[in-house]
Amino acid sequence: MNATNSQPVSSVSDEEITRFSALAEQWWDPSGPMRPLHAMNTLRIAWAARHLPLRGATARRARVLDIGCGAGIASEALAKEGYDVLGLDASANGIAAARAHLDSTPLPATAGPLEYRCGSAETLVEERQTFDAVVAFEIIEHVTDPAQFTHMLAQLVRPGGTVVISTMNRTLRSFAVGKVGAEYLLRLLPVGTHDWRKFIRPSELAQYARAAGLHTTAIAGMAPSPSGWKESRDMGINYIAAFRKD
């Protein structure tokens, strides 16, 4: 909370938005600066889908919010899984790239509806919007206050709904591999993509979730392999977690 006016500090970091906005036109290039997201997307979508509400459990499609959607890599994949998806991002450039890709590469007829919106979690909370599920992939380590952000995710999901978060663990190994290796040695990511000090330990994420009224239902590591990213017991670098709101 802001000590001056007791109002919540915005979750949106202008510095982060500027950085990712500059990459918007390259977002959909699987060999470009977002190639790690392309590489892990199949795993994170499949894992999330196992824990999200069933797509046909009711007369309507389950409504999913993809917050911090960037140019829509996960949003399109979730729609293809049959969900009714809203992709939200504070970067106007990112949302423009998401819409452009959707226009140029239409979803199959079996996909659920997909809408994009430029905005923040705070806007949806103020509008009192709620969803059957909220996914936040590789975004919580880029917000200004992860505890407050988790609280907003809980506000945006309906009782009985699911929140899925993927992020990076703050370990010496993640510093060596996820920061130094990925950005400086292998050049898998643009330099400055991550601030290792903002990486979040699983215990910290669970604490934020409990304080927000969510309880952990599943957690797993995500690790690259020669045949693609795999679910792992090793959460030393990347991990993904599901939470339920009672």
Residue pair 32/40 in contact (Cβ under 8 Å)? The answer is no
87 is an annotated ligand-binding site residue:
no
pLDDT tens-digit profile of 85-126? 999 999 999 999 999 999 999 999 999 999 999 999 999 999
- 47, two tokens: 């894992």
44 is an annotated ligand-binding site residue:
yes
Phi-psi region of 224 (alpha: psi -120 to 50; beta: other; left: phi over 0): beta
Domain boundaries, the chain: 14-245
Q: List the chain residues with pLDDT less than 70.
A: 1-9, 55-59, 179-192, 194
Return the pLDDT at 2.
40
Backbone angles phi, psi at 107, to 5 degrees: -70, 155
Please tell me the CATH code under which domain 14-245 is placed.
3.40.50.150
pLDDT tens-digit profile of 164-181? 999 999 998 887 877 665
pTM of the shown model: 0.89
